[in-house]
Structure 1
Amino acid sequence: MSTADNQPSRWHQAFRAITTGNGLIAVLSVVLALIAGSILIAVTDDGVRAAAGYFFARPGDTFVAIWEAASGAYVALFQGAIYNTNASTFAAGIKPLTESLKFATPLIAAGLGVGLAFRAGLFNIGGQGQMLMAAAAAGYVGAYMDLPVGLHLVVAIVAGVIAGGLWAGIAGLLKAKTGAHEVILTIMLNNIAFYLLAWMLATQGILQAPGSSNPKTAAMADTARLPQLLGSGFGLHAGVILAIVAVIFTWWLLERSSLGYRLRAVGENPDAARTAGINVGRSYVTVMLIAGGLVGIAGVTQVLGTVPTGFGGDIDAGMGFDAITVALLGRSTPIGILFAGLLFGAFKAGGFWMQAAEQVPNEVVLVVQSLIVLFIAAPPLVRAVFGLPQADGRRKNKKQKKSRSKKEVSA
């Protein structure tokens, strides 16, 4: 096999650049998205539009209105996501932070599953299906099985993780055996999981609550619920501990284990990894099993922590796709995904508060999240906006050429 054959393709190089690029670009992408969000907030604000009607007579009023609209929205975002400065007690003030952690928990777990697959060169966009299957398995154990205290919760968690892993493993196995593209496979598996769960929720004796005609499960047994960490007045549950353990495990797997080394080698260059004796097909199956299990934790925490009273077909709440954004922003590293999940959890918690306090459409937060992905996928644009040197050092080369030309002229 020639050296040229061992080189990764142009598309593979682009994929690697997007998913594992410079962390500074991720931070600057968030800054640009927030700036763009400020523009959208100003456009949708009634006070700004009213001031713009007499802009040429008193232009200062328009700029003041823009500042008040944008700053008021982001202050509300902070108060709804981190700390409510208007609260009368510390417990009430810190509650928004606990809500952000609650929203971040499934995003971190699902983001780890997507990011781990990225590191092995696979684009796992099947988070929705993996979450749904994990929720179905954990929900069945939690609602319809009678087990001792302690064991019940453990069995429900393990069942959900295994179900998510096996569902993702289907895509890994077909990828390894047939060469089918994992994007197509995971999209199809998402649809299958969605309709399979809908059937189970509408069928007595499987997931539908006994005596009910609604497509919803019965409430989870008390012995299968994730404990509330701060009491019944807060929504934060022990799922956040599972997410942190998942972060530690994924970091150890990628950075300290021989399996992680093989997976990273396959992600960097599958042809070279195959030449070095690594079984690429087996690596694809293995990484998808583990990635699906990590995404399964997200489904488990939703079922046993967030909605223990029973769930319907919308249990994933779009987080299977949000996990892709989290993985991209976190540059597919466990620590990066942890902070990206916390950021998006804060967006979710603060977005509702911003909408209620400042009448800012919640869709603006969704636009900001989408813009983050857009800027992350276009590092040259971010570098150009902030005047940073390009990855190939072109700005430096231009300066060197200018200095050489000056020397030649002086000579």
Structure 2
Amino acid sequence: MTRLPAWADYGLIPVLNLGLAFAVAALVIAALGEDPAAALEVLVAGAFVYEGALGYTLFYTASFIFTGLAVAVAFQARLFNIGAEGQAMLGGLGAAGLCLAFDAVLPALLMIPLAIAGAAAAGAAWGAVPGWLQARRGSHIVITTIMFNFLASGLVVGLLSGPLMRPGQSNAETRALAESARIAQWHEIAPLLGLEAGRSPLNLSILLAVAACIGVWWLIWRTRWGYALRCLGLAAPAAEYAGIPVARITVQAMAVSGALAGLMAVNTVLGAQGKLLINFTAGFGFTGIAVALMGRGHPFGVALAALLFGALYQGGAEFDFEFATITREMVLLVQGLIVLFTGALSQMLVPLVARALGRA
């Protein structure tokens, strides 16, 4: 296997693969009769320039950070967690359930931390079960996490259509959460700091996402547990021979992964919507797989990849307004190409880059 310096392996190769993905997307856009340069300009302006655009981009980025980190932590143990979507749903139930029960009596100083803990705990519990099934019963983690997505979806729909539905309405959603359970949004805070900000759902959960990146880095690369987790991912038989409790680490890894996915609900339920809705996860749990692949499983890479996907998600919405033949579905094509080149074909350019570096 060809080995590259760390800066090339973790920096140059992903950038080149990303460039290939955008190059193929440009060819598709040109084949549709549109100017790729104009499409890129619209994408960038829609993500960063227009009023409120940056706020929306960072809002999506926060959600992608949580789900990307969830998948990345499981990757470290060679566990392919496809269940971040369902774990985020359960996180929403955990957070909203506690808010519905206590937001009328608890102040924000207690209610918000309790709701965050509830989101993490519910996601962790939903993630730990597939981990236990693989560790103790040999069930494949991919199959169980996929099935648990369907179970989570059914559970959320059943509760929002029945016990948690606000009385007197037909929409499957809870009542609005009290102000004590709402996380402040940036456009509300900015004037207090003497700044201007366009209206967007960006809220203080972005700080929690940054803290999660730092926490995951510390946990994986600076603790004994993280060392055991990485050993398990590199060679499970050798880890077991060395005395590492493989089954226990497997369950714990999936619990941590599920907790991170559950925290996505803090951004959407407490920070943006102010209530629990059906499909509030919007497929972001699945996008987290692409984010983790592109970020090479490292928190810093995940954060950068999440920013890119957030920009694609927000900027791509402008395609519907600016072009006749390009719609926001083009973003799905770009995302698919990114997954293709940074995942399945991630090593394609390694020999070429190695030869170029050798000559240099």
TM-score by length of 1: 0.79
Deviations 1:20-62 (A, max 9, x none): x644222112111111111222223xxx3xxxxxxxxxxxxxx
Say which SS state the counterpart of residue 49 (structure 2) adopts.
Answer: coil
In structure 2, the partner of 1:280 is: 246
Q: Provide the rounded CA distance (Å) in 1 between the counterparts of 2:66 and 2:12.
A: 23
Match of 1:139 in 2: 96
- SS of residue paired to 1:230: helix
Within the candidate set 318, 333, 340, 2:305 is matched to 340
**Corresponding residue of 2:162:** 203
Secondary structure of 1:231's match? helix
Change (3 A) 1:338 1:380: closer
d(CA) in 2 for partners of 1:186, 1:314? 18
Q: Equivalent residue for 2:267?
A: 301
* Cα distance in structure 1, aligned partners of 2:159 and 2:212: 29
Alignment of 1:3-402 (within 5 A): 22-44=10-32, 48=33, 69-84=35-50, 92=51, 95-145=52-102, 146=104, 147-204=106-163, 207-231=164-188, 233-308=199-274, 310-359=275-324, 360-376=326-342, 377-383=344-350, 387-389=352-354
1:200-233, Cα deviation, whole Å (9 max, x unpaired):
01113xx211222321111121111111123283
Letter paired with 2:142: V
Could you tell me how far 1:378 is from its partner in structure 2?
1.1
Look up the equivalent residue of 2:153 and give its one-letter code: F
- Does structure 1 conserve the Cα–Cα contact (< 8 Å) formed by 2:65 and 2:288? yes
Contact map agreement 1:102 1:237 (CA 8 A) in 2: yes
Contact 2:318 2:328 in 1 (8 A): no
Q: Is the 8 A contact 1:161 1:300 kept in 2?
A: no
**Across the two proteins, how many residue pairs are aligned to each other?**
339
Note closer, same or farther for the CA distance 1:285–1:372 as it changes in structure 2 (3 Å cut). Answer: same
Mind listing any 5+ residue stretches in structure 1 that lack a counterpart?
1-12, 14-20, 49-65, 85-91, 400-411
Q: Deviations over 1:77-103 (max 9, x none)?
A: 11111223xxxxxxx3xx222211011
Structure 2 gaps of 5+ residues are 2-8, 190-198
1:10 alignment counterpart: none
What CA distance in whole angstroms lies between the structure 2 residues aligned with 1:298 and 1:41?
33
- Aligned-residue CA RMSD in angstroms? 2.0
Q: Residue 172 of structure 1 contacts residue 285 of structure 1 at CA under 8 Å; is this kept in 2?
A: yes
Distance 1:213 1:144 in 2: 22
What CA deviation, in whole Å up to 9, does each residue of 1:260-300 have, x standing for no partner? Answer: 00100101111101011100000001111111111111122
The residue type equivalent to 1:41 in the other structure is I
Question: Do 2:132 and 2:251's aligned partners in 1 also have CA atoms closer than 8 Å?
Answer: yes
CA drift of 1:395 comes to 11
Identity %: 37
Normalising by the residue count of structure 2, what TM-score does the alignment of the two structures yield? 0.89
Partners of 1:187 and 1:286 in 2: how far apart?
19
Cα offset, 1:148, TM superposition? 2.0
Q: Is the 8 A contact 1:76 1:358 kept in 2?
A: no
- Could you tell which deviates more after superposition, 26-35 or 250-259? 26-35
